[in-house]
Structure formats: structure tokens, C-alpha cells
């Protein structure tokens, strides 16, 4: 059997980008290559000779070590896709394959190959979000135009009818028609989105956040705290500050409503505004040298799983009083600046992440 003690094969394994673990018949690590050290955030000194279960922790597969022991006995390999491995306080998503290495002169061993796929999954998800958003936006704009076309005629006819009625009491009904036509027109205008070009200027994102924070605190009336967690070293970006404030306010306002409508919690209701810089970050299929990440975090009830994949679609909302346009408009605004909004949610924590490229000179028009 080829063993890692061979200098040639050791160099070969050490230079692979695939993470590789070799496990002995006692399910202890006998070899770990540098890619696996990086993936599992563990040094060779702390891994070799120690039980595999100390460093290989599958969050969704509690019996995985038993399954590996079975592979040692039966020599039947297996593969697991999109496994979540716990690394410290974080999780990484990997595909991994476990195969038995058998030799008549040596005890059996296991070879574990791991390929991290977090980035590939995120790129695929972002491309899907962007593509679906563009298709939906065109569809909604077409519908909005079709709604607005007959509304002018309906409103005008109601006005003429109101003037011709002999009884003023009957004009109440024509006034209702006019008011409802105006309401539908305003809704169609919101569906169509901003009509003017953005007023581009150098913007400090924290000034926008402070404006949003002051508005939310006034509306919250002391019921919800808004915590700052800013990276003040972030450079300015080129954008329309009013549009950014609207995009952030739509999301933060939703968080406030969710917290106020579900007051029964084990901890005080709270919204966190967090800014960070991320380098060499991919948005969709484009890799950016420097990206601003803005997280809006609340400890509310979370978003139902049935809605999480469609919350950025127009007219989709989890609240009876919601219009379903706020998040769609926010995604539209952020997309103007080649950015993206993502969401992760579970009970007790919902995170909306806004990603905005910070390269100078991009044309948002």
C-alpha cells in the first residue's frame, strides 16, 4: 500500500488543493495535508494522533463516525454532498468522500477527501437571485403599466359622473372611485420604482445608518434598542444617499415591525447595524477587490421557511399589513450599484446582508 511516509507521495498530497485526511483503524488521524489544516482550522500537531471525532464534526450527521467505522470493516466507500462541518463557532459546507485503504501487510485505513463548496453555492445562489429579480422586475413593471393605463380613464369618468349627479349625497360613491383609483396609481408607481437617475456623490455609509437609526428609534418609542457595530475605517462609496437610506430603512423598518408584533421573547428586542469590509469578494459572477458588507440583524421570530426564498419578490409579505414592496425596492436600489442583498433567518436571528462594491469609478447610472 502506498503510505504517506513515502517522500514523493507526501509531497504530492501536501500540494493538493483538495483537503485530505488519513485515518487509522482506531479512527485516529495519521495524516492531514495543508489544505485540510486550512479547511478545518487545525494544525498538524494538534490533529495527528488524535481521534477523528475531535476535528471532523458533521453538524447534520451525528452518526458519521459510526458510518466510517463500518466502512473500515466492509470497505464500502460513501460520499456526502453539502455536509456542514463545524469549525470552531462557524460552519463550512463541503462535499466529502470516505474510502477504505486495504493492504494484506498493514491494518486498514480510511482516506477522506473534502472539497469546500461554500463559495460555489453562494455564487450559484446569488446568480439565481439576480436572474429571478430581473425577470420579476420586468414582469411587474409590465403589469404596473397595464394597471395605470385604464386608471386615468376610470378616474376621469368618475369625475364627470360626479359633476353630472343631481344629488350631492350620490357623489360620495364617485369620490370613492376616485380615491381608490389614486391608491392604485400610487401602488403602480411604487411597483415601477424610482423614475429619476441617482444623484451620485461620495457617501459615508455610517451617515446613512445614523439617519436610519434616528428614524427607527423615534418610531420604536423605546421598545426596541438599535446597536451600532461599525468599522469606521471603511472608505466612502459613490451613490445616492437618499436611495441608500430608503433601501436600509425598508429592511430595518421590517425588523422593527417584526419585533413589535412578537414581543414575547426571552431577551430584549434588539436591532444591530454592523459594517465590515470584505476583500476579494464575489457578487454574482463578478469578483471585487473590496466590498462593503452591511448586516441588519434582529432577534425577532424569524422569517417562515416557506417565504425565505421569495421575500425579494414584489407583493410577497409575511405580515397582514405589509405591502410586499419594501424588500423588492431595496434590492432594486442596491442592484443599481452592482450590489446584492441576501437574507439568512432562523428563530431568534434574522440577518439581512447588503453587499456593495467599493471600487472607485464604477458607473451606477
The pairs formed by 144-151 with CB atoms below 8 angstroms and a separation of 24 or more are 144/188, 144/189, 144/191, 144/192, 145/188, 145/192, 147/184, 147/187, 147/188, 148/185, 148/188, 148/189, 151/181, 151/184, 151/185, 151/188
Task: Tell me what pLDDT residue 203 has.
Answer: 92
The CATH number assigned to the domain with range 7-116 reads 3.30.450.20
**What local confidence, expressed as pLDDT, does residue 241 receive?**
92
CATH code 3.90.550.10 for 196-365? no
Instruction: Print pLDDT tens along the chain (365 aa).
Output: 445 456 777 788 888 888 999 999 899 999 999 989 988 888 888 889 999 988 888 877 668 888 898 998 888 999 988 888 888 777 888 899 999 988 888 888 999 999 888 777 776 776 776 676 667 667 766 766 677 778 778 888 888 888 888 777 777 888 888 888 888 777 777 666 666 677 889 999 999 999 999 999 999 888 899 999 999 999 999 999 999 999 999 999 999 998 888 766 678 899 999 999 988 788 877 888 899 999 999 998 888 888 887 787 776 665 555 556 788 888 888 988 989 898 888 888 999 999 999 874 443 33
Q: Could you give the CA distance from residue 179 to residue 155 in angstroms, rounded to a whole number?
A: 9
Q: Which residue has the cell 413589535?
A: 260
The domain locations on the chain are: 7-116, 118-192, 196-365
**Secondary-structure percent of the chain, ordered helix, strand, coil, rounded to 5:** 40, 30, 30
Q: What local confidence, expressed as pLDDT, does residue 110 receive?
A: 92
User: How far is the C-alpha of 362 from the C-alpha of 195, rounded, in Å?
Assistant: 21
**Three-state DSSP class for residue 353:** strand
Please give the pLDDT value at position 87: 83
If you ran DSSP here, which 8-state letter would residue 77 be given?
A: -
Amino acid at each position: 500500500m502506498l503510505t504517506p511516509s513515502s517522500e514523493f507521495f507526501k509531497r504530492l498530497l501536501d500540494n493538493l488543493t483538495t483537503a485530505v485526511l488519513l485515518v487509522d483503524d482506531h479512527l485516529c488521524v495519521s495524516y492531514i495535508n495543508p489544505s485540510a489544516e486550512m479547511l478545518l482550522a487545525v494544525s498538524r500537531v494538534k490533529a495527528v494522533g488524535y481521534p477523528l471525532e475531535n476535528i471532523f464534526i458533521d453538524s447534520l450527521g451525528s452518526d458519521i463516525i459510526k458510518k466510517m467505522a463500518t466502512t473500515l470493516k466492509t470497505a464500502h466507500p460513501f460520499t456526502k454532498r453539502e455536509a456542514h462541518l463545524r469549525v470552531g463557532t462557524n460552519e463550512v459546507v463541503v462535499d466529502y468522500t470516505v474510502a477504505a485503504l486495504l493492504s494484506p501487510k498493514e491494518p486498514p485505513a480510511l482516506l477522506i477527501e473534502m472539497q469546500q463548496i461554500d463559495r460555489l453555492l453562494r455564487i450559484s445562489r446569488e446568480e439565481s437571485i439576480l436572474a429571478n429579480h430581473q425577470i420579476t422586475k420586468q414582469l411587474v413593471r409590465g403589469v404596473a403599466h397595464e394597471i395605470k393605463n385604464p386608471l386615468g380613464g376610470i378616474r376621469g369618468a368618475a369625475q364627470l359622473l360626479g359633476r353630472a349627479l343631481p344629488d350631492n349625497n350620490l357623489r360620495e360613491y364617485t369620490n370613492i372611485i376616485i380615491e381608490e383609483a389614486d391608491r392604485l396609481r400610487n401602488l403602480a408607481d411604487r411597483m415601477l420604482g424610482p423614475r429619476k437617475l441617482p444623484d451620485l456623490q461620495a457617501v459615508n455609509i455610517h451617515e446613512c445608518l445614523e439617519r436610519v437609526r434616528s428614524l427607527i428609534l423615534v418610531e420604536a418609542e423605546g421598545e426596541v434598542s438599535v446597536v451600532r457595530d461599525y468599522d469606521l475605517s471603511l472608505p466612502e462609496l459613490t451613490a445616492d444617499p437618499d436611495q441608500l437610506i430608503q433601501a436600509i430603512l425598508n429592511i430595518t423598518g421590517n425588523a422593527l415591525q417584526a419585533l413589535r408584533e412578537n414581543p414575547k421573547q426571552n431577551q430584549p428586542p434588539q436591532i444591530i447595524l454592523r459594517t465590515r469590509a470584505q476583500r476579494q469578494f464575489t457578487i454574482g459572477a463578478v469578483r471585487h477587490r473590496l466590498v462593503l458588507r452591511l448586516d441588519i440583524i434582529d432577534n425577532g421570530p424569524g422569517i417562515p421557511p416557506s417565504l425565505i426564498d421569495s421575500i425579494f419578490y414584489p407583493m410577497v409579505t409575511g405580515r397582514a399589513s405589509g405591502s410586499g414592496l419594501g424588500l423588492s425596492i431595496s434590492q432594486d436600489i442596491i442592484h443599481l450599484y452592482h450590489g446584492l442583498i441576501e437574507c439568512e433567518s432562523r428563530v431568534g436571528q434574522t440577518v439581512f446582508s447588503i453587499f456593495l462594491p467599493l471600487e472607485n469609478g464604477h458607473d451606477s447610472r
